[in-house]
């Protein structure tokens, strides 16, 4: 239950930071940093409990890596999606009366951007959070939040910089993402995350050599270091 609560709360905070940052009066040029800092904070807070996925595409990518139980997939994705919708409506209530502008994009370019940046995000997460070579590092939250921040700066005007099916559902719920974009966005985000898992297996020596039991989570950077016996 603790893992589900953390996934709900972390995605709630992420989604609330997005809506609060982009709906007028908005954080303008500071929005990427506000969102990135919010994500970093909840990653560091919840990583030791659930792995701090906060993104259904990332959960799928981590499962393909072999570092997430199959039995956790549905509960995690449900908690993330509900958390995003709740965070979106909470932020909307806090900005009561603000005008909502629907996202206007060029579909082929937007889908390409969502695929590429979700791939980059999941690839970084797998390498800094779920590789034995980087186990125990203290920079994983900063690295992941950095991808989100630079993704918003680079692709925000192209696709809205969603990179997350739960966030896509939340943006749809509050009226920012048109219904015509919801399923295409979710599809390319999942494809990008799956491609990241393939790239991780290709580029990570330990991943190529290991045989993963399907229901046994693997060590991650998030696990606390063991103290030597006195």
Query: Residues 157-170: what's their mean pLDDT?
Result: 96
- 25 preceded by a cis bond (ω within 30 of 0): yes
Give the list of residues 6+ apart from residue 218 with CB closer than 8 angstroms, or none.
65, 66, 67, 130, 210, 212
Model confidence at 140, in pLDDT bands (50, 70, 90)?
very high
Second-level CATH architecture of 2-95+103-209: Up-down Bundle (1.20)
pLDDT at 220: 52
53-80 pLDDT, tens digit per residue, is 999 999 999 999 888 899 999 999 999 9
Q: What percent of the chain has pLDDT over 90?
A: 75
Q: For residue 115, which phi and psi values (nearest 5 degrees)?
A: -65, -50
Judge whether 172 and 179 are in contact, CB under 8 Å. yes
pLDDT at 219: 44
Model confidence at 222, in pLDDT bands (50, 70, 90)?
low
Q: Is the pLDDT of residue 218 over 90?
A: no
The DSSP string of 130-188 is: S-GGGTT-S-HHHHHHHHHHHHHHHHHHHH-----HHHHHHHHHTTSS-HHHHHHHHHH
18-37 pLDDT, tens digit per residue, is 999 988 877 778 999 999 99
Which of 228, 207, 224 is CA-nearest to residue 61? 207
Sort residue 139 into left (φ over 0), alpha (ψ -120 to 50) or beta: alpha
């Amino acid at each position: 239950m603790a893992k589900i609560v953390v996934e709900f709360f972390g995605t709630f905070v992420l989604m609330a930071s997005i809506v609060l940052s982009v709906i007028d009066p908005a954080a303008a040029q500071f929005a990427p940093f506000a969102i990135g800092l919010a994500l970093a904070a909840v990653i560091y807070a919840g990583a030791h409990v659930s792995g701090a996925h906060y993104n259904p595409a990332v959960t799928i990518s981590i499962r393909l890596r072999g570092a997430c139980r199959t039995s956790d997939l549905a509960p995690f994705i449900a908690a993330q999606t509900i958390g995003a919708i709740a965070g979106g409506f909470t932020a909307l209530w806090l900005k009561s009366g603000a005008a909502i502008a629907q996202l206007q994009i060029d579909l082929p370019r937007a889908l390409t951007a969502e695929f590429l940046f979700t791939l980059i995000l999941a690839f970084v997460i797998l390498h800094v959070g779920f590789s034995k070579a980087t186990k125990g590092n203290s920079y994983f939250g900063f690295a992941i939040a950095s991808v989100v921040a630079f993704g918003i700066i680079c692709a925000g005007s192209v696709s809205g910089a969603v990179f997350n099916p739960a966030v896509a559902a939340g943006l749809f719920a509050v009226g920012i993402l048109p219904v015509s974009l919801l399923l295409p966005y979710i599809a390319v985000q999942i494809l990008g995350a799956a491609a990241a898992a393939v790239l991780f297996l290709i580029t990570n020596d330990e991943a190529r050599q290991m045989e993963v039991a399907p229901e046994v989570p693997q060590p991650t950077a998030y696990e606390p270091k063991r103290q030597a016996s006195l």
